[in-house]
Structure 1
Amino acid sequence: MWLQRLDLNSLGISKNPLMLLGSMRTLGVAAAATGLLTIFFPQTRRAHLLALPITLLAYLLIWQQFFPLGRYLLPILPLAAVLCALLVHAFVPQGWLERRSSNISKVMGTPLQILLLCGLLFAASKASIEIFAEKAATWQATLASRGGYEVFRVASERKKTPQEQIVQIGFENGIYFYDGVTIGDWFGIGRYSQFTRLNLDKPPYVGEIVAPQALLDAVSKFHVEMIAVNAGRFQFEPDKYRTLFEVEAVTPTAYLLRPKARID
C-alpha cells in the first residue's frame, strides 16, 4: 500500500509537503487552501499582494508539520477568506455584479430589507431558543453525548483520594468532566506521543496505544492510578493490556485502565 510508505503522524496525516492538500482533505479543511490559487494570478503580483498567498502557504506547511488539527487553522482563516474573495473578484464579471446589485436594490427597497432582516433574526432566535430548551430538558443525555463524559464521571467516582490525578489519552475536549487534575494533551507534559506510536501497518493508519509495558512505564512518572483511553481516536486492543492493567469498558470507545501493580 502506498500509504504505508508515507511519514504519518498519530492522526494519519502525512508530513510530506507534497501531500499537503491530501492531508487537508483527510481532515476536511481543504477549502482553506483555495486561496493559494491567487499565487498564479497576474492581478496578485500587480497589486503587490503576492505576500498574502505566500504567508498562507507557509502557515499551512508549518501546520502540517507540527500541529495538524483543524482548529489550529483558525488564526489563518481570515487571510484564507480574503484570498477566496480575490478569487471571486477575479472570476465574476464586475459589470454583471454591479447591474445585478442595482436591480436587487430597485426591487427590494429599504423597508422590505428591514422586514426581511427582522424575519431572519426572529427565525434564528426562535430556533436557538428551541435548541437550548431541548438541550436543557435532556441535560443528562446531552452530557452523555459528549466524548469523555462517561469515562470521567466513572473515574471521578472511583478515585481513592480527592487529589487523585488521571492520565487521559484522546479526551482532551472532555477533561472538564473529571473532578480533579488530568494529564495528557497533544502538547506539553504528558503529550499523546508518549503513550502512542505510529501505525503504518494497517488501516486507518492512525496512532495506536503503545504496548502494555511501554504504557506502564510512560505513566509511571506521573504517579497516577487511572488511565482513560479513547479507542475512537487511537487504536486500542483491550485484551492485550489485561495482564498489567485492570481494563474496564465504560463505553464501546472509552476505557478506564488501572495498573495492577501500584505505581510509586
Structure 2
Amino acid sequence: MFAGQRINIIKKILLEQKQVDINTLTSLLNVSDVTVRKDLDSLETDGFLRKVHGGAILLEDDPLDMPKNDIPELQEKEMIADLAITLIDDGDNFYLGPGSTCLMLAKKLNQKKNLTVITNNASALPYIDCSSVNLLFIGGDVVNYNNMMFTHGEKALAYLEDIFVNKAFIGTDCVDLEAGLTINHSYSLDVYKKILDKSRQTILLASKSKFDRIALQLLCPINAISALVTEGDLPEKYKRYLYQNDIKLLTSFDL
C-alpha cells in the first residue's frame, strides 16, 4: 500500500472516530509501527492531528493552535508556565486546575520525571505523556467554558474525598486585595474549594492583567494561597501583602 493510500485511511478513521491507536493502524494497514509513526508525523506536520501516547487525536479547535492574535495573553501564559514548572520536583504529586494557563503547564511536564498528576482539566489530557506521568483524571459532569473543557459536580467531589496532594496549581479570573480571588462562573468552584482543603500548597497562576479586578464568585482570599506566579511586576501594595503573609512570589524577573 502506498503512503498516500495509508494517509487517506488514517484521515478517514480520525474524522469518524476522532482518535486512533498505533496498534489498530499497524493491524489495519499491515505495516510496522515505525511506518505508522512516520505517517502520523506527516499528518501532525500538516496540522491534521496531534500525536499522543500510543496513538493520535484529530486536531479540532485547539485554542493553543489558533493564530497568535486570537489567544488571549499567549506569551504571558507561556512565561507563567515556564516559572510554574520550576516549582515542581521530580516525583511530585499535584493537582492541575482548569484553564489555558494550566494547560500550558501541562505541556511542560515532560521536563520532570515520575510525576503524579490529578486533574479535571479535560483539555490538558492530550498534552500529558502517560508514559512518564501517573495521570489521575477526575470524572464528573463536563463543562466547556471559554473553549476549555473540565469536570465538576458530585462525582468529581466524591473522587477527591480520599485524595491528598502536595501542591495545587489553580487559575482565577480576577484578583483583588479586598475581594480576594474571584471567578465569573460557579462551575469550577466546587472542585477548587475541595482541593484547597486537600493540598499542602496552593499555587496561583495569574497574569498581571487580572489584578485590581473583581468577578462574581469568591474562590478564596489571597492569604489562602502559598505562592503566586505571574509574568510581570505587580503593584507595590500586592508585593507588600504577599510579603506580610509569607506568600512566595515568582515573576519574569526570576527566569
Q: Same fold (TM over 0.5)?
A: no
TM-score for the superposition, normalised by structure 1: 0.33
TM-score (norm: length of structure 2):
0.33
Which has the larger share of helix? Answer: 1
Higher strand proportion (structure 1 or 2): 2
Greater length-normalized contact order (CA 8 Å, ≥ 6 residues apart) = 1
